[in-house]
């Protein structure tokens, strides 16, 4: 609104009186509520998300039946295994077909410690992860000189060689019967299935926090550099061999922890729990969820757990034979993998990321249009305020001296002095 200055003349309202300050979030007198923002520091952000996820997991398991609690716990342990495989294959670029062998080593380590020692459950799982990590370092050393199908063949040999070792020493590893494990005792009124599911889901979240901070550090940058171009990474100062071994150690440790949890879930650790198809299914689930994506590990774990359930129901509805229904889950898994690689090469998480980016771009375009319209309205308000103060727009003002006014868009700012050439011509005429 117009006001009077000391000389008594009307003065137009400034831009601040007609337009809200930029970023104030006011529109028509209302204030837009601020969105919740996570901490910028990666560790604090990951811990905040982990705390919220742990509370959500406890709430979900408390509402599920004991059978569904077992399935939820299996999702958690497969997330641990897929997180390590994402580091090895998705981020470091090393194909592994022997991830089930690392799970078997962790499962047998935890079962042996539970049957022959009085160690706590946490120490058993820690020893399972450590033993598998040592095996990963042993395998990773020769793997530094192998690539592509040769590396896949070496890891495939590892998956095929471990089961006969367990059958060779029956007295130690239990042979075909395996080793019996005892699930942890649930505190309070919780049932054993819910307590074990909570442990597995919480360990999955903890594993994701550790791996997420690892991949955002210099180790993660080294993983991606080696995956993209080993020669360029070496020229940039990255120790390629050491980086590959570290990736194998991380993946093996996650696999060993997942194997120890799987032994607690099934109640028995035997060679039949870790066939070659498990390693192949883990690799396929990692690709379907999103190679190199930790969030995609949840999608892959859900497929690993629920696809056999759905295939069993489908086999019952179609009245298929026992031989066909036994391999139906693997057939469906392969078909889904082929379709996903054609339709969505980035996996489920990659497709969701693209959809989210598309929606964000559409929203950003709408916001840009609103901002342009707001700027136009603000400019009209400024001009109307100037007119109310008794001033005319610059392009309509008469020149202060003889000669035409400077046109808009000419050199110099709007409202500048008249053209020098026009002044000289008028003076010479006078």
Domain-embedded: residue 3: no
pTM for the model stands at 0.73
Tell me if residue 344 falls in helix, strand or coil.
coil
Cβ atoms of 405 and 399 within 8 Å: the answer is yes
Residue 393 lies in a domain: no
- pLDDT attached to residue 409: 42
Residue where a domain stops, chosen among 244, 275, 306: 275
CA-CA distance, 197 to 72, in Å (whole number)? 6
Which residues lie below 8 Å from residue 363, measured CB to CB, with a gap of 6+? none
Same-domain check for residues 51 and 147: yes
pLDDT band, residue 333 (cuts 50/70/90)? confident
159 touches 98 (CB < 8 A): yes
**Residues 226, 354: one domain?**
no
Q: Are residues 236 and 361 in the same domain?
A: no
Residue of higher predicted confidence among 182 and 176:
182
Count of other CB atoms within 10 angstroms of residue 102: 38
Q: Is residue 312 part of a domain?
A: no
Domain contains 36: no
Query: CA geometry: angle at 238 spanning 233 and 243, to 5°?
Result: 105
What's residue 30's pLDDT?
A: 52
Is residue 268 located within the same domain as residue 356?
no
* Statement to judge: residues 271 and 361 lie in one domain: no
- Among the candidates 360, 376, 392, a domain finishes at 376
Confidence of residue 76 (pLDDT cuts 50, 70, 90): very high
Q: 414 — phi, psi (to 5°)?
A: -60, 140
132, part of any domain: yes
Q: How high is the pLDDT of residue 337?
A: 80
Distances (CA, A) of 138 to 42, 141, 192, 215, 368: 32, 6, 37, 22, 56
Does 206 share its domain with 106? yes
Reported confidence tier of residue 52, pLDDT bands at 50, 70, 90: very high
- Does 363 lie in the same domain as 266? no
Whether residues 259 and 354 share a domain: the answer is no
Task: Give the whole-number percent of the chain exceeding pLDDT 70.
Answer: 74
Residue 181 in any domain: the answer is yes
Q: Residue 408, SS3?
A: coil
Considering the domain boundaries, does residue 238 fall inside one?
A: yes
Residue with tokens 């969505």: 344
**Tens-digit pLDDT profile for residues 25-48:** 444 445 655 666 766 777 888 888
Mean pLDDT score across all residues of the chain:
77
Q: What is the pLDDT of residue 260?
A: 93
Do residues 276 and 284 touch, judged by C-beta distance below 8 A?
no
H or E, element range at 269: strand 268-269
The pLDDT-based confidence of 103 (bands split at 50, 70, 90) is very high
Rounded CA gap, 183 and 160, in Å? 28
Q: How far apart are CA 278 and CA 296, in angstroms?
A: 18
**Same-domain check for residues 266 and 368:** no
Of 249, 275, 301, the position where a domain reaches its end is 275
pLDDT tens by residue, 215-269: 888 999 999 999 988 899 999 999 999 999 999 999 999 999 999 999 999 988 9
Handedness of CA 91, 97, 100, 102 (dihedral sign): negative
Residues 256 and 362 in one domain: no
| Domain tally, the chain | 2
Q: Which of 85-99, 344-358, 392-406 has the highest mean pLDDT?
A: 85-99
Looking at per-residue pLDDT, the higher value among 43 and 327 belongs to 43
Alpha-carbon distances, residue 13 vs 3, 271, 382 (angstroms): 7, 83, 7
- The pLDDT value given to residue 33: 56
Let me know whether 242 and 362 are in one domain.
Answer: no
Q: What's the CA dihedral at 57, 61, 63, 68 to 10 degrees?
A: 130
- Residue-range definition of the domain harbouring residue 365: 350-376
CA–CA separation, 30 and 372 (whole Å): 20
CA distance 323 to 334: 17
Check residue 149 and give its pLDDT. 83
**C-alpha to C-alpha distance for 383 and 366, rounded to whole angstroms:** 26
In the prediction, which pLDDT does 322 show? 65
| Within-domain flag for 417 | no
**Quick check: 132 pLDDT over 90?**
yes
The 10 Å Cβ neighbour count of residue 286 is 30
- What is the longest distance spanned by two Cα atoms in the chain? 122
Q: Are residues 270 and 134 in the same domain?
A: yes
Of 88, 354, 29, nearest to 214 by C-alpha is: 88
The token pair at 44 is 């604090």
pLDDT score for 32:
55
Strands 3-4 and 10-11: antiparallel
- Read off the pLDDT of each residue in 389-413 and give the average, rounded to a whole number: 44
CB 305 within 8 A of CB 197: no
3 state SS of 10: strand
């Amino acid at each position: 609104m117009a006001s009077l200055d000391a000389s008594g003349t009307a003065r137009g309202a400034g831009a601040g009186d007609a337009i809200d300050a930029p970023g104030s979030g006011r529109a028509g007198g209302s204030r837009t509520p601020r969105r919740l923002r996570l901490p910028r520091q990666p560790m604090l952000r990951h811990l905040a998300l982990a705390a919220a996820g742990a509370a959500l997991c406890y709430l979900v398991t408390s509402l599920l039946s004991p059978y569904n609690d077992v399935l939820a716990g299996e999702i958690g342990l497969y997330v641990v295994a897929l997180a390590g495989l994402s580091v090895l294959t998705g981020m470091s670029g090393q194909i592994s077909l022997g991830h089930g062998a690392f799970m078997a080593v962790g499962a047998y380590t935890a079962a042996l410690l539970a049957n022959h020692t009085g160690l706590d459950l946490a120490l058993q799982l820690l020893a399972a992860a450590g033993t598998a990590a040592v095996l990963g370092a042993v395998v990773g050393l020769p793997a530094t000189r192998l690539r592509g199908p040769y590396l896949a063949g070496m890891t495939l040999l590892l998956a095929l060689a471990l089961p006969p070792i367990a059958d060779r020493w029956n007295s130690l590893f239990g042979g075909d019967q395996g080793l019996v494990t005892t699930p942890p005792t649930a505190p309070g009124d919780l049932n054993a299935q819910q307590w074990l599911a909570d442990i597995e889901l919480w360990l999955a979240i903890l594993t994701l926090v550790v791996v997420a901070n690892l991949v955002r550090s210099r180790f993660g940058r080294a993983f991606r550099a080696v995956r993209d171009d080993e020669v360029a990474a070496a020229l940039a100062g990255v120790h390629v061999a050491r980086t590959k071994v570290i990736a194998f150690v991380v993946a093996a440790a996650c696999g060993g922890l997942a194997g120890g949890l799987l032994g607690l879930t099934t109640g028995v650790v035997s060679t039949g729990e870790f066939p070659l198809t498990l390693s192949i299914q883990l690799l396929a689930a990692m690709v379907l969820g999103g190679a190199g994506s930790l969030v995609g590990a949840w999608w892959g774990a859900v497929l690993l757990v629920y696809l056999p359930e759905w295939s069993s129901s489908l086999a019952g509805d179609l009245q298929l034979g026992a031989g066909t229904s036994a391999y139906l889950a693997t057939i469906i898994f392969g078909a889904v993998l082929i379709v996903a690689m054609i339709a969505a090469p980035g996996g489920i998480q990659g497709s969701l990321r693209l959809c989210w980016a598309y929606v964000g771009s559409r929203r950003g375009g709408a916001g840009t249009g609103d901002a342009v319209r707001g700027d136009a309205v603000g400019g009209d308000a400024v001009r109307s305020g100037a007119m109310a103060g008794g001033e005319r727009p610059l392009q309509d003002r008469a020149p202060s001296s003889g000669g035409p006014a400077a046109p808009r868009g000419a050199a110099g700012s709007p409202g500048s002095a008249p053209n020098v050439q026009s002044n000289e011509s008028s003076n010479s005429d006078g």
